[in-house]
Structure 1
Amino acid sequence: MGAEPGRSRRRAPRALGVVRALALGVAGLLLAGCASMPDHGEVRPVEASQGVDSQVRVFGVPPADKASPQEIVDGFLEAMTSDDPQLQTARKYLTAEAAEKWKPGAAVTVLSSGLDRFSVPGEKDPAAPRFKIAGKMLATVDERSAYQPDDRRYEQFLQLQQTGDQWRIATPPSSLVLSESDFQRIYRPVNKYYFAGSTLVADPVYVRQRSDPDSRMDPTTQTVTSLLDGPSKWLGPVVTSSFPTGTELREGTKSLSIDGQNALRVPLNKNADDVVEPQCRRMATQLLYTVKDLTGFRIDRVDIVRSDGTTRCQVSEVDAAVIANLPLSPGHQYYVDAEHRLQRLNLDPNREDQQDPPSPAPGPLSGNPAFKVGSAAVSYDEKRAAVVSEDGHGLYVVNLTTAGPMPPPMLTGKGAKPYGLATPTWDATGDLWVADPDPQDPALWRLPGGTGAPERVEVSGLAGGRITGLKASPDGVRIALLVQRESRKYLYTGRIERPEKGDASAVAVRELRPAAPQLADVTAMSWAPRGRLLVVGRESGGVVQARYMLSDGSMVGAGLPGATGLVAVAASEDEKKPVVAESLEDGIVWLPPGAQWRTVVAGGKAPVYPG
């Protein structure tokens, strides 16, 4: 064979048909082409698709008559990226038995680059063509549509068999195998919602941009089906679904639509017929929040429909907001000024020409100018503040509603600058968290209720790293951790597991997973609306920028405009509130929705919203 093992040869252009949908629903343009494949060479790379916009539909090209084994393998890999119903074209590259049994379902292997294909000897029959496909993995998407970063090496063997005078694949991959760009073209991120106690929690998943080739469901119906299937495996231990076990969409439902009154009617099977009213309303709340960000239409109401077609319950958007128990919109933003005092801002997005001047945080801090604040966190109700002294040594909890002397420290760190206590954080239950990054004994601490004795928290998966930054999520079941290993900082999210009442076991943080695997170094982070993270960091060889990411580690949006030189950032669950950040050049800066950055306070640092 002409090529040396281990060397790559670019293959011919993609053997795909492409349909681009035109505006106003008029006829599309069909671009179809067949490519001739090189007839020699041991190694051939299957390149990732180039960036194709979401209006492009790709359809595979069936195998040519008497196609070579190499052409069969490459054609099959291309056909897996198609929009064919039930992946019919991809199945034509398989033996009859394999085509019948192949059920990739929702499982996807996402590669950071193209696949390499190697011809290797067969195990049972050395004369039968056998190929190894390999590449660098980026992530996997499991049967519940959950995304999981994964940087392992992907390898799969495809055994070919001859049927008559045609070669076909007898051992296809168990999941779809897509390049990153193909994955972004075919799939879109959405949130489905579950309850942790009385609070609604976002669970990010990926669904097809268009009708699913297997189920023939549209994206909204795919997402609702995923919601009914239950939470992702990672989030499952700390959330619950209000839907009874076995609840599904009524048989035959392929599309869900919004009527002229902006109401979404969701027909369910008989498993949900007899739910009580409060449970039904929680079910409808999960549906409303799951669907409202997915469609381009306003949803004012969700109707739960019994199996006989009658309405079981209705929930309006206003009702759902109460049931969801989401955090209140913050009244202030807080920061530390040049004199190491805690200040608060009351910023009005509608008053760009003038703002109220900052004022000292009330309580013991304002009456004790000698105390120097290094960083702070304010409880969600804005009645208490946790402050770390400027030397990073002591953690204090002060009341913001009454004056008085400074209380004694609640916790004393073992280290000092530059290894002093990290900026603390409050969770939705009222607990206070802080990290001590002391190199000799790094630890994560929780103060129950903000006043209880500090409890050391076990963090599984920390693997010797030191926590230098942390932020509990507004829903109270996740925590974002900045972990330093040598000279680099990585971002992880962990699941907060709390024991049941009467259980003597301690609160723990489980299953750390990368939250920004694309970034070579992370500078700062904050939770943002709809379960996202706002992350400041840089890619390898790039510049520092701020961008939104899903908590599962997938990147969902472009960077914030002009966000260079930021060293701290804070976002609110209320999307109408501005992003607040610390700039090395300008101090405290502010980015209102749809506007540009502007300086609010020169010389300030460590901005935070309550939480």
Structure 2
Amino acid sequence: MTRSRRLATAFAIVAAMVAGGSGCTVIPVTGPYTVNNDEGGGDPLNKPFQRMIAIPPQPQWGAEDTIRGLQAAMAAYQDDPSILARYLTAEARAKWSAAGPVRVIQDAYEVTVPPPRESETSMKVTFKAHMAALINEDDSYKPTAGLWERPFELVKMPDGYRVSSLPPGLLLTESDVARAYRPTNLYYVNRSTQDRLVVDQVRLRLNTTETFAQTVLERLLQPPTESLRGAVTSSFPSDTKIESIRSGEDRVIINLSGSLDTLDLSAEETLRGQIRNSLNKNEVAKGRIIEILVDGEAYTVDRPDSDDQWLDDDVGDSAYYVDKGAVHYLTKDGRGGAVAGAAGEQREGYSHFAVSAGPNPLIAAKTSTGISVAGLVAEGVWQEVIQGADLTPPTWNRDGSLWTYDGKNGVLLKYDPARTRVEPVEVPEELDKLDVKQFRIARDGVRVAVTTGENTVQIGALTGEGAGTKLGNLQFLTTTESENEIRDIAWRDDENLLVLVQASAGQTLNEINVGDGETVGVPLKDRLQSVAAFQDQVLADVVTQGGTKLMALNLDQQAWDVKIESNAGTPLFPLG
């Protein structure tokens, strides 16, 4: 029997019946619980997945089969660690640890085996693969490129080859991760404003001994990923435990224990928001009543038709565009009238406009001497609130504050309209050495996108609160070729950032998920000047021979439609 046929056999039958080959048996698992719905539309508490059953090493396997079997045993390690141990010598078992990031490689990899020698009892083989990602110990998923190459030492024993030297950590293929992990959105609370949930994307491994609902909530009780440390908080006391999760025809019953204050109505509302969104946004218990108990006693009930303000950005249907320095409303039909006050008057020298949220929005603009602000009311006038000749375009936070980075002095500035004060905000030391071009706060009031130089985007977070607020947790998101330029960035929602890149060959517009780095290209026909977005709405302005026109992205058709044919420049949405 050839090696390829032996491997096929190994994947087809259970380990105890295998006589040759290496790998895992794949068994569909639906989980111990489901939510039954008489109408057939019920959401399971668990996610269907394929369970990997590892196969122990076989005496007749060669070195390559042994290494491939070892990798497959890593895929099943969380369910059954005993099989992986059987691939190792006693010394290797004593030294090896599964701790650390999970390396994710592309499915196709090579195992290079040296020519055999009759008297040889040990050999060193080379494992070559292309990296795809890391799943860090905080469950964050970070795409990673490059070649991963490591030597593996094997010893020939009476019952076959065993690995005598193994790098620490688990090594999984992309298919392994697709089978056993699920992208999961967890929801924490904006530490500063306490009025908004902030999404934290992780990769959670499906567990054969508990429902996915329990896996999600158990992880929600833990701290957020490193990207949000210090920026968010939780309504769950540190000693909270999930005692049980049960389901009925139309409801899910969650029993908690711990030092929850059952008389604190604010904490109760926040807890309901965290649980509801962390389950429903992952298609778990969606449309179901969620009953929450504390120590078996009724605590609170979340109904699917109840209002959920925790992800509200107070933006509504507001959209604007600029024509010759005058700000106009954008209507569903296109062109609207100029806004009230000085902001609606045509003038030169004002650019990079930004609009705040809420019922009484303010508009900010950059000039040659600083940042000016005006109210969108008849008596509204432009007033310079931040001075500086090297400032980034202004950006509003959901708390009503206005932000910009002063490149000349290397300081992040925050203007509070209520107190008419400008305050410096602490930034990481390395940012002082970089050429900051853009600084954009997401609508959740926590995440920040920063472009440095012409071709790099980093994602950070506003940590702390009050006077202790600072910019931290900077992580690389994307970069372009050195000859290219990042022309504009815009937050579409809490998870996705639009990045417009100008290259010599043309433009690209990418939507990048800041949680896992997934990148989706947006088709372009015309050359865009700037881009603005809010949820499913994406707008851009295009320079034509007759002036400027405003375009809207049709998401269904993945094409751009003309919104306003002429005299319509920079589009604006509140925040983002």
Query: After TM superposition, is the score higher than 0.5?
Result: yes
Give the direction of change, closer, same or farther, for the CA distance of 1:216–1:57 in structure 2 (3 Å limit): closer
Instruction: State the distance in 2 between where 1:401 and 1:341 align.
Output: 14
TM-score, normalising length from structure 2? 0.77
Shift of 1:491: 1.3
Equivalent of 2:498 in 534, 541, 564? 534
Superposed CA offset, 1:188-208 (max 9, x none): 322101112232111111123
Give the direction of change, closer, same or farther, for the CA distance of 1:248–1:163 in structure 2 (3 Å limit): farther
Equivalent of 1:433 in 367, 389, 403? 403
Equivalent of 1:490 in 425, 444, 456? 456
Contact 1:93/1:168 (CA < 8 Å) preserved in 2? yes
- Whether 2:458 is the aligned partner of 1:470: answer no
2:197 paired residue number = 200
Equivalent of 2:539 in 566, 569, 580? 580
1:509 paired residue number = 471
Give the match's secondary structure for 1:284.
Answer: helix
Instruction: State the distance in 1 between where 2:400 and 2:517 align.
Output: 29
Give the match's secondary structure for 1:221.
Answer: helix
Alignment gaps of 5+ in structure 1: 1-10, 21-31, 38-53, 121-125, 348-354, 415-420
Contact 1:108/1:178 (CA < 8 Å) preserved in 2? yes
Question: Which amino acid is the alignment partner of residue 199 of structure 1?
Answer: R
Give the match's secondary structure for 2:302.
Answer: strand
Give the match's secondary structure for 1:359.
Answer: strand
2:517 paired residue number = 554
Give the direction of change, closer, same or farther, for the CA distance of 1:204–1:461 in structure 2 (3 Å limit): farther
Give the direction of change, closer, same or farther, for the CA distance of 1:174–1:314 in structure 2 (3 Å limit): farther
- Whether 2:352 is the aligned partner of 1:375: answer yes
Give the direction of change, closer, same or farther, for the CA distance of 1:477–1:299 in structure 2 (3 Å limit): same
Aligned length: 526
Question: Which amino acid is the alignment partner of residue 550 of structure 1?
Answer: N
Give the match's secondary structure for 1:285.
Answer: helix
1:303 paired residue number = 291
Instruction: State the distance in 2 between where 1:146 and 1:93 align.
Output: 29
Give the direction of change, closer, same or farther, for the CA distance of 1:406–1:432 in structure 2 (3 Å limit): closer
Superposed CA offset, 1:12-46 (max 9, x none): 799467989xxxxxxxxxxx997699xxxxxxxxx
Contact 1:16/1:34 (CA < 8 Å) preserved in 2? no
Give the match's secondary structure for 2:271.
Answer: helix
- Whether 2:215 is the aligned partner of 1:227: answer no
2:329 paired residue number = 344
Instruction: State the distance in 2 between where 1:407 and 1:192 align.
Output: 41
1:216 paired residue number = 209
Contact 1:204/1:550 (CA < 8 Å) preserved in 2? no
Superposed CA offset, 1:298-324 (max 9, x none): 33532223344x4322223565623x2
Superposed CA offset, 1:240-276 (max 9, x none): 12112132322xx6xx676432x332233x3256644
Shift of 1:397: 0.8
Instruction: State the distance in 1 between where 2:258 and 2:223 align.
Output: 15
- Whether 2:136 is the aligned partner of 1:142: answer yes
Superposed CA offset, 1:365-410 (max 9, x none): 22x4334432200111252111113xx5532111112425432463
Superposed CA offset, 1:91-113 (max 9, x none): 54234786699763794123468
Give the direction of change, closer, same or farther, for the CA distance of 1:200–1:99 in structure 2 (3 Å limit): same
Give the match's secondary structure for 2:399.
Answer: coil
Give the match's secondary structure for 2:241.
Answer: coil
Instruction: State the distance in 2 between where 1:56 and 1:519 align.
Output: 40
Give the match's secondary structure for 2:570.
Answer: strand
Superposed CA offset, 1:69-117 (max 9, x none): 3432232124434598336654542347866997637941234686565
Shift of 1:234: 2.8
Equivalent of 2:237 in 236, 239, 244? 244
Instruction: State the distance in 1 between where 2:212 and 2:104 align.
Output: 20
- Whether 2:162 is the aligned partner of 1:176: answer no
Give the direction of change, closer, same or farther, for the CA distance of 1:264–1:198 in structure 2 (3 Å limit): same
Shift of 1:336: 1.9
Instruction: State the distance in 2 between where 1:584 and 1:110 align.
Output: 44
- Whether 2:161 is the aligned partner of 1:167: answer yes
Shift of 1:58: 6.2
Question: Which amino acid is the alignment partner of residue 535 of structure 1?
Answer: V
- Whether 2:369 is the aligned partner of 1:401: answer no
2:414 paired residue number = 446
Equivalent of 2:424 in 429, 432, 455? 455
Structure number having the greater strand percentage: 2
1:285 paired residue number = 273
1:385 paired residue number = 363
Give the direction of change, closer, same or farther, for the CA distance of 1:571–1:97 in structure 2 (3 Å limit): farther
Question: Which amino acid is the alignment partner of residue 375 of structure 1?
Answer: H
Instruction: State the distance in 1 between where 2:9 and 2:63 align.
Output: 21
RMSD across aligned positions (CA)? 4.1
- Whether 2:58 is the aligned partner of 1:64: answer yes
Contact 1:144/1:229 (CA < 8 Å) preserved in 2? no
1:329 paired residue number = 315
Contact 1:374/1:387 (CA < 8 Å) preserved in 2? yes
Question: Which amino acid is the alignment partner of residue 424 of structure 1?
Answer: P
Contact 1:444/1:467 (CA < 8 Å) preserved in 2? no
2:282 paired residue number = 294
Instruction: State the distance in 1 between where 2:363 and 2:152 align.
Output: 60
Shift of 1:294: 0.9
Contact 1:517/1:553 (CA < 8 Å) preserved in 2? no
Superposed CA offset, 1:201-220 (max 9, x none): 11111123xx33xx633443
1:351 paired residue number = none
| Greater Cα shift, 89-98 or 223-232 | 89-98
Shift of 1:333: 1.0
Contact 2:20/2:61 (CA < 8 Å) preserved in 1? no
Instruction: State the distance in 2 between where 1:295 and 1:275 align.
Output: 28
Superposed CA offset, 1:535-557 (max 9, x none): 3449x99974444433235206x
Give the direction of change, closer, same or farther, for the CA distance of 1:257–1:157 in structure 2 (3 Å limit): farther
Shift of 1:445: 2.9
Give the match's secondary structure for 2:342.
Answer: coil
| Greater Cα shift, 543-552 or 66-75 | 543-552
Give the direction of change, closer, same or farther, for the CA distance of 1:406–1:295 in structure 2 (3 Å limit): closer
Alignment gaps of 5+ in structure 2: 13-17, 24-47, 115-119
Instruction: State the distance in 2 between where 1:523 and 1:82 align.
Output: 45
Superposed CA offset, 1:568-605 (max 9, x none): 32222xx4x52222345673222356465311123533
- Whether 2:235 is the aligned partner of 1:265: answer no
Contact 2:357/2:398 (CA < 8 Å) preserved in 1? yes
Identity of aligned residues (%): 21
